[in-house]
Amino acid sequence: MTALNDLIASFAAIGATEDGGVCRLAVTALDKEARNLFLREIGNRGLVPRTDAIGNMFGVAVLEPATDEIVITGSHLDSQPTGGRYDGAYGVLAGLLAVEAVRDRCLANPGAARRNLAVANWTNEEGARFQPSLTGSSVFAGGLSLQDAYACADSDGVTLGDALAVIGYCGITPLEHRPVRYVELHVEQGDRLEQAAGDIAAVSGAWMTRKISVVFEGDYSHTGPTPMALRRDALRASARAIEALYVEVARENAGAHASAARISVYPNSPNVVAGRVRVWFEIRHEDEAVVFAISDRFLKRIERESREIGVDISIAADERRSASLLDPAGVELVLAAASDLGCKALTLKTVTGHDALAIQKRIPASLIFVPSRGGLSHNPREFTAPEALDKGYAVLVETLWRMVTTRES
């Protein structure tokens, strides 16, 4: 579909990196540029623009003025520092075109629409600049207060509230309609669809994720003359902890995923033994008991091993995302739409977090995957073939059509 591919290319140019990727962190000048372009695209299609207090953007198609019910589709435009062009943006842009297509179909079938339709761009899904991730959708769903979201600070101490004000997207035009369903189209970011030679996945739920931020407190000293036995090296303790995490995952032997993907060192000088280090750990598995078994054992181990070398530890954050389920009726609807369009579809659970998981806490939410080549994501080389993107778009259009024209939500 030329229009979709052209849109993806246009947005990929904003924050484009030399290696072909996209670096467009949330609520930066580049994010503002992408938001401005999205706003123009909303206007070009005759949709009603809305922006709420946390910066979530909507393009509304009023299909049935007699009701306040609305179905929402969308995703996010922010990226990781090493992002590709499809993660998030695909769902927003395919959603934009799908809303337009469903609206035109409703115009050709007077009286068919039972509810209204909107496309959304959710603020700070990635969490690369501000933690926690899924910020905008969590505020929308009531899982995070607006004030707590505003108070989230980046590594320079800039708060999300201040950053939104700077780029002019601290909105005052919230969505007037009453949301009844949400659908998100996304690249899988894994290889299960590709391995199964599938076209579409209807996502039934998510793995549990536990994200633990640990602070290691030692003491500063000169890297040269300080006797080895007297050093309280926080970086050494953190290095031992990182390896311990992988050891505990292997010991459990249950197929869990884990990582230590971010580290902050102070004073970060080549001549000073690190006195304070913070590491961000995470453990994921579809069985919550497995996540707790690994993480609890891990925490006890690193406390003991750090103490042995004179380093104290404390927990700065411990975020637990349950192994949640998505709307079962939505799964069946997506599978039926895919089947009717001749697509090979399957059901699976997502390992990663998505806005649909946050929104499910407020309204029934659905998540649709298309294949990712090699399962590569958060990487400039992420790729989904144009024909796969088109199949996902077609399934999204049909799913939205059925959601806005059926009597029951």
Which tens digit of pLDDT belongs to each residue from 47-103?
999 999 999 999 999 999 999 999 999 999 999 999 999 999 999 999 999 999 999
- For range 159-168, the mean pLDDT: 98
Q: Is 257 annotated as a binding residue?
A: no
What is the value of pTM for the model shown? 0.91
Kindly report the CATH number that applies to the domain delimited by 208-321. Answer: 3.30.70.360
pLDDT tens-digit profile of 353-391? 999 999 999 999 999 999 999 999 999 999 999 999 999
Confidence of residue 408 (pLDDT cuts 50, 70, 90): low
What pLDDT is stored for residue 314 in this prediction?
98
Q: Quick one: the chain helix, strand, coil %, rounded to 5?
A: 40, 25, 35
The answer to whether the annotation marks 186 as part of a ligand binding site is yes
Taking the CA atoms of residue 92, residue 94, residue 98 and residue 101 in that order, the dihedral angle to the nearest 10 degrees is: 130
409 pLDDT higher than 50: no
CATH number given to 2-206+323-405:
3.40.630.10
What is the three-class DSSP state of 190?
Answer: coil
**Are 304 and 312 in contact, with CB atoms under 8 Å apart?**
no
Q: What is the pLDDT of residue 202?
A: 98
What is the pLDDT of the chain when averaged over all its residues? Answer: 97
Three-state secondary structure call for residue 225: coil
176 is in an annotated binding site: no
267-273 mean pLDDT = 97
Helix or strand (DSSP H, E) at 320: strand 312-321
Q: Structural domain boundaries of the chain?
A: 2-206+323-405, 208-321
pLDDT-derived band at 1 (thresholds 50, 70, 90) equals: confident
Cα(347)–Cα(334) distance, integer angstroms = 10
Residue 105 · residue 92 · CB < 8 Å: no
Query: Averaged over 320-333, what is the pLDDT?
Result: 95
378 is in an annotated binding site: yes
Task: Look up residue 132 and give its DSSP letter.
Answer: S
Asked if residue 76 belongs to a known ligand binding site, the reply is yes
Over residues 103-153, the pLDDT tens digits come to 999 999 999 999 999 999 999 999 999 999 999 999 999 999 999 999 999
